[in-house]
Structure 1
Amino acid sequence: MPFESTKGRGATRNAGPVRFNLPERVSEGDWLDQVEALDGVPKRRTTVTVEHPKTILTRNSSPDIGFDRSVNAYRGCEHGCIYCFARPTHAYHDLSPGVDFESRLFVKPNAPQLLHSALSQPGYSCRPIAMGTNTDPYQPVEERWKITRALIELLLETKHPFTITTKSDRVVRDLDLLKEGAKLGIAAVAISVTSLDPNVSRIMEPRAPAGRKRIAAIAELRRAGIPCCVAIAPVVPQITDHELESIVEAAAKANASGGFYLPVRLPHEVAPLFRAWLDDHFPDRAGKVMSTIRSLRGGRDNDPNFFSRMRGQGAWADLIRTRFEIAAKRFGLAAAKFPLRTDLFLPPQGAQMRLL
């Protein structure tokens, strides 16, 4: 039984990361029963810890990912999406990929200064920087810390290309900066929309804005001339796949500049967390959901192999791909592209940031 209430959270468990032999987070003795009898189980509150990393630019050489560098201003994500492939990263901090991931957050207020330093290095070669690759840059904590906004200011100052992936309509707060980036041809946004059903979103992505709000954000960004694609990511068989066509239609009506989809991935600790979530919220179809996912993943809960991990395999993967292609053609949704300029980049001038 969990130590605190998980109501309002995505994960229903807070098990420790078994890969590192760390303990499961559970109560000891009968203290929890006493609390329930007297006052009820206390709510799990979100905590924020300031982190001071030495570097901020993360490099990757994955051949099936369209960027080779990224910046993440936060660790953990309060949106609480149960399927989030980034959950296992909390295990490296001796924290659970379960409820800890969405309630014990880390912020990196020196991220802009670290990025300034990285872009100033002699011989730095400019290629687009991706934001939102591990945790959402516009999750609720950004409202106070505004680290994402500061990073964008620096990228605009240096005319460095960047992409943003988010599940939040909070991105429109920075419309002024994104418009400037779009005019230069160095900014693009992808907004993830997984469901338009508020009941599904409430339990699958409990602290992320509703799908309709994200569609509205796409429309607002496009009216401002900002490239913005829809990412139907992930598609969860037997839970959200029936909405594929309706999401494509809604995105097309919002004038999305393109779109793509990704089948659900369940790496490492995400798989048992997802199974527990299914047992709690969809006990009538839990077995069917996992059976379909395994058919997509070569008989396993997860396929870590390059390329196939992004597309899936087998009959179900073919069906989802065909449905997406037919819907995109029917509603006029182009394939997602992010053609950004790299020739405008000017290394930061001086040792200190001008804007901060």
Structure 2
Amino acid sequence: MAVQAKIAILPPGRRELDLRDVTLDALESHEVVVRQKAFGVCHSQLDRINATGRTESMVLGHESIGTVVAVGDRVGYVEPGDEVITTWISREGRVPVPPRVILPDGDVARTHNTFTWGSHAVADEQYVVKIPPGISDDLGAIIGCAVMTGAGAVLNSAGVQAGQSVAVWGAGGVGLCSIAAASIVGARRVIAVDVDDDKLKLAQQFGATEVLNARKADAVAGIRALTAHNGVDFSFDCTGVGKNVPSSLASVRPGVRGTGRRGGIAVLVGIPREPFELDSMDLIKGEKGLIGCEGGSCDPERDFATFVRWSLDGRFDPSALVTDRYRLDEINIAVDDLHHGRVRGRAIIELPA
């Protein structure tokens, strides 16, 4: 079945996307075509756009909600008409061959795993998750990356428990999801750190008990002063800024040698865009931990169901997280706004029904 689509293409050597009309008619056996309802605009895609030395056209994006309109001949998980979320973490661990888009001029646009920036997406069935009725487009557009990464880091990577203390560095879309998850599981103290007062106000709406502006004061000292053991149990760096990682580690409590009380754990959530150095003595003498997580260590089918329940029962409000909305023909505006820090929470592109 041939599907006519409008896809955002990133040509080689450029940082501005072109909207191109294409025909999607050469599906691999396990691929599906999803007609998009809404999709998210993520910081990790800015890294692709700003990368130097690209020699091929690219298609971007990895979180969306939509309806399956075509399937390959060996797809067994979904069928046309199913409502799905598209994500970038495989449901069963298999790593499929990335899809490609053949353009009318014969050029081929490629992706690293899947793509969502367009009226339609092509994805291996491993990257789509069936959803229950009643889910909002706002949640569906961002659950496949922002919610999964931020909330999953709290639930899965760290396993935060009720009564523990948490600091979240970076109150953007992913950080707000970490803050919300920490609040939902009952963390006693949830401290948000950012350099933007508007983002910190939004962090309080999502459950932050205290906020610190790192541009105005020493955030590490502030966190230590707010906690009983000279630091939090868990610190989540959601900034993607390398120089913040040592601060995140410094903000967790030290352990007490010989008592069995180990230090707190810093969780690296955002992908650092430059090298960073750690204070090895802080790590060793404090008996602290530094761990990484990919996609919030999530199992998409299991964890998406949890996030949907949070939304349906009112514990998590995706419409408050989606602070900026655009049309498909405004995608370059959305990218520019995100790049320059004008997006407070999460930006999405909404498609007509």
TM tier, smaller: under 0.3
Give TM-score, length-normalised by structure 1.
0.28
